[in-house]
């Protein structure tokens, strides 16, 4: 029954997997994402002795995770919000773990399941995210330059020196953007 459930989940969530693969393929910000499922599998495999010793207590309360996750996936898929569908997949996996193995097992594999979310492409609303980081970086740089004795004036993300002006670029915010 578990194998059938996994196959059905793969078929149901296939559009989200295709979206993720295409995003990983075209956006260099997600070059790591190819390895996340393998790393997740490794994290689970490392716990195999603990998992094998865990008493199985299948619980039908797993449907309380599985059903909303599938419903969310259907809504997200119809609205072309496939990032949300990928998150729903992770919740559905948690539901399957509870359904077939119990809540105790879910507690043992919760970190790998959360780690799997690192493969989900996130929308980068850059200006709202990076502007505060750029302001902090420019403020820190201006402060350091003042401490070492250089005369500087900071205006937003632009640092004015006596003979040139420097702008703290988006790349300096800490978020990689291509």
Q: What is the pLDDT of residue 4?
A: 93
Q: What is the pLDDT of residue 177?
A: 54
Measured at the alpha carbon of residue 165, what is the angle toward residues 142 and 170, in degrees to the nearest 5?
A: 75
Q: What is the pLDDT of residue 151?
A: 87
Q: What is the pLDDT of residue 138?
A: 86
- Closest to 22 in 3D by CA, of 125, 92, 124, 121: 121
Q: What is the pLDDT of residue 173?
A: 58
Q: pTM score, two decimals?
A: 0.70
For residue 26, what are its two tokens?
């075209």
Measured at the alpha carbon of residue 162, what is the angle toward residues 158 and 167, in degrees to the nearest 5?
A: 15
Q: What is the pLDDT of residue 137?
A: 84
Under a CB-based contact definition with an 8 Å cutoff, are residues 61 and 97 in contact? no
Q: What is the mean pLDDT of each run of 10 residues along the chain (178 residues)?
A: 91 94 85 92 94 92 95 93 93 96 95 93 66 84 90 88 82 59
Q: What is the pLDDT of residue 27?
A: 79
Q: What is the pLDDT of residue 171?
A: 62
């Amino acid at each position: 029954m578990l194998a059938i459930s996994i196959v059905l989940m793969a078929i149901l969530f296939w559009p989200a997997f295709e979206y993720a693969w295409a995003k990983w393929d075209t956006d260099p910000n997600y070059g790591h994402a190819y390895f996340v499922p393998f790393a997740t599998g490794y994290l689970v495999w490392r716990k195999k002795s603990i998992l094998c010793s865990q008493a199985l207590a299948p619980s039908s309360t797993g449907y309380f995770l599985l059903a909303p996750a599938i419903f969310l996936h259907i809504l997200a898929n119809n609205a072309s919000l496939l990032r949300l569908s990928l998150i729903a997949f992770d919740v559905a996996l948690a539901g399957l773990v509870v359904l077939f193995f119990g809540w105790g097992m879910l507690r043992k594999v919760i970190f790998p399941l959360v780690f799997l979310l690192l493969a989900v492409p996130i929308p980068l609303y850059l200006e709202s995210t990076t502007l505060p980081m750029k302001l902090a970086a420019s403020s820190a740089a201006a402060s350091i330059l003042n401490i070492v004795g250089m005369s500087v004036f900071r205006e937003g993300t632009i640092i004015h020196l006596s003979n040139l002006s420097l702008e703290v670029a988006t790349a300096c915010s800490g978020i990689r953007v291509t």
